[in-house]
Amino acid sequence: MAKTFWVLGVFVLWLPLVSAAAPKLLVLGDSLSAAYGIPLESGWVHLLQERIRSHDLPHTVINASVSGETARGGRERLPELLARHEPSLVLIELGGNDGLRGLAPGTLREHLSAMVRMVQQSDAQPVLFAMRIPSNYGPAYTERFRQSFETVAESHDVPLVPFLLTPIAEDRSAFLDDGIHPSAEAQPRILDFVWPYIEPLLHASKRAAVRN
């Protein structure tokens, strides 16, 4: 009987260790990832967690997205998030609000680069999401803004996911009444669009977690 209790005790102690070792995916984004205007469980980030489970991947998704967030705000919040969650993957979906406010592209690149470096220094894989802004901000600024994400991704050699709204950009019915934020019905299309970019990274981090 004593031996049985010893075996059970080892098993009970082992369970939290397995759970703690499961890799985490942190999403640091703005309203596009925070499910603005729709139920949280309808957003593409929540659907990402469901997709991950359906593919028998061990990752836990942590959505640290905040509506209205800027690249500077994300940069300020990131150190605490990295220390608390210790993610293996960090999706950086920020910059849109900076563009809408006319932030200088050089300043935007500085904030994005700082976040990428923080993630790399924490031994996690950063993934940058490209952003777009309406053309009425002028062709020169719009192009410099667009190129900022490519420049940061190339200079730090990190994956760049195309603009989230690419698959629905021409479908006005896919947006809420504000014409900016995607509807609940559009969220699966967004996930289907980004999944091919994220899935290989999930498998890579799973292999790394097993080796460690």
Q: Residue 207: its pLDDT value, please?
A: 85
Distance CA 177, CA 175 (A): 7
Q: Residue 93: its pLDDT value, please?
A: 98
Q: How many CA atoms lie within 13 A of 29 on its CB side?
A: 25
Domain of residue 123 covers 23-206
Distance CA 176, CA 182 (A): 6
Helices 105-121 & 139-156, crossing angle to 10 degrees? 20
Least confident of 1-10, 22-31, 94-103, 198-207: 1-10
Residue 14 lies in a domain: no
Given a cut of 60, whether residue 13 has pLDDT beyond it is no
Q: In what order do the strands lie in the sheet with 60-63?
A: 60-63, 24-29, 89-93, 125-129, 160-161
Residue 81 lies in a domain: yes
pLDDT tens per residue across span 50-81: 999 999 999 999 999 999 999 999 999 999 99
The domain tally of the chain equals 1
Nearest alpha carbon to residue 36 among 67, 79, 72: 67
Residue 2 lies in a domain: no
- The residue annotated as part of the active site, out of 30, 31, 33, 65, is 31
Residue 11 lies in a domain: no
Residue 120 lies in a domain: yes
Distance CA 140, CA 142 (A): 6
Distance CA 189, CA 83 (A): 32
Residue 127 lies in a domain: yes
Residue 1 lies in a domain: no
3-state DSSP assignment of residue 157: coil
Q: Who contacts 56 (Cβ-Cβ below 8 Å, separation ≥6)?
A: none
Distance CA 14, CA 10 (A): 6
- The residue annotated as part of the active site, out of 33, 111, 181, 205, is 181
Mean per-residue pLDDT, 2-16:
37
Q: How many CA atoms lie within 13 A of 202 on its CB side?
A: 21
89 pLDDT band, cuts 50/70/90, is very high
- The residue annotated as part of the active site, out of 56, 157, 177, 178, is 178
| 178 has catalytic annotation | yes
CATH number at residue 147: 3.40.50.1110
Residue 64 lies in a domain: yes
Q: How far is CA 18 from CA 26, 29, 119, 209, in A?
A: 19, 28, 23, 11
